[in-house]
Amino acid sequence: MSVILKGAIRLYYYLNEEIADKRSQEWFLMRNPWPGLVIIGIYLLAVFKWLPEYMKKRAAYDLRVVIAIYNVIQIIGCMYIVYQSLVLGWLNHYRFVCQPVDHGPNSVEYAWKVCYLYFVIKMMDLLDTVFFILRKKQNQVTFLHVYHHFGMVMVAWGMVKWVPGGHVTLLVPVNSLVHIIMYSYYLLTIWDEAYKQSLWWKKHVTQIQILQFLLLLIHFILVVTIPDCAVPRQPAYILIPQNLFMVILFVDFYYRSYIKTVKQA
């Protein structure tokens, strides 16, 4: 038992101290995983227990103004992240295949303005679920929705903690660009509810999400298939199954929502 305990402590120290990127160690929520895990725990309890119980005998809240403001903040935040990721990295000195973790002159700025801000945005994304429940749209709180939201928080935290730059961070501008499209669609539905009835919009937003995960899956596979790729392989071992799982979940959602229902009709 003591051997197992010592091994666990050693592993924790290795992950949290030895291989952590020193540039981001002292940033808020980055020193160790516990505060972030507490936030995720509170999120899961809130969306599966506390908020549904709170809303049982209450009418749905009208949150159109709040959600419209939230969507605008999301769009502006994601646009800023995409811009900074291109200027400081991907359209500057980054290469798209096997880009090592950057330690150059702009590396801290990239880590802060791109990777850490992306983590903050992923934390904000958790409000999507809260809004669903407060509007009495519990049917939209699916396994796919919840898993995707808290999973992306964990991925973003790990990126800032261990690899705040380089090959892995292509997911930041790609995912942020998708979210610009997605939150623009949400803003349209708040502005005019007729867009909610348009399967064309919903279908294409889902297609873009699937394409995103396929592109990132290929991008991460390159790390483990190219022999001389000077990029840490450990993140790819996590991100490859993560993105494959997301492809499967989104394809299943797409089939059930836009193919199976059409056949039945």
Amino acid at residue number 170:
L
Of 121, 139, 175, 143, nearest to 44 by C-alpha is 143
93 is known as an active-site residue: no
Catalytic residue among 103, 145, 148, 179: 148
User: Tokens 């209450």 — which residue?
Assistant: 58
Amino acid at residue number 127:
L
Of 199, 182, 111, 184, nearest to 148 by C-alpha is 182
Tokens read off for 257: 């929502």
CA dist., res. 59 & res. 32, Å (int): 40
What lies within 8 Å, CB to CB, of 250 at 6+ separation is 144, 206, 209, 210, 213
- Annotated catalytic residues are 148
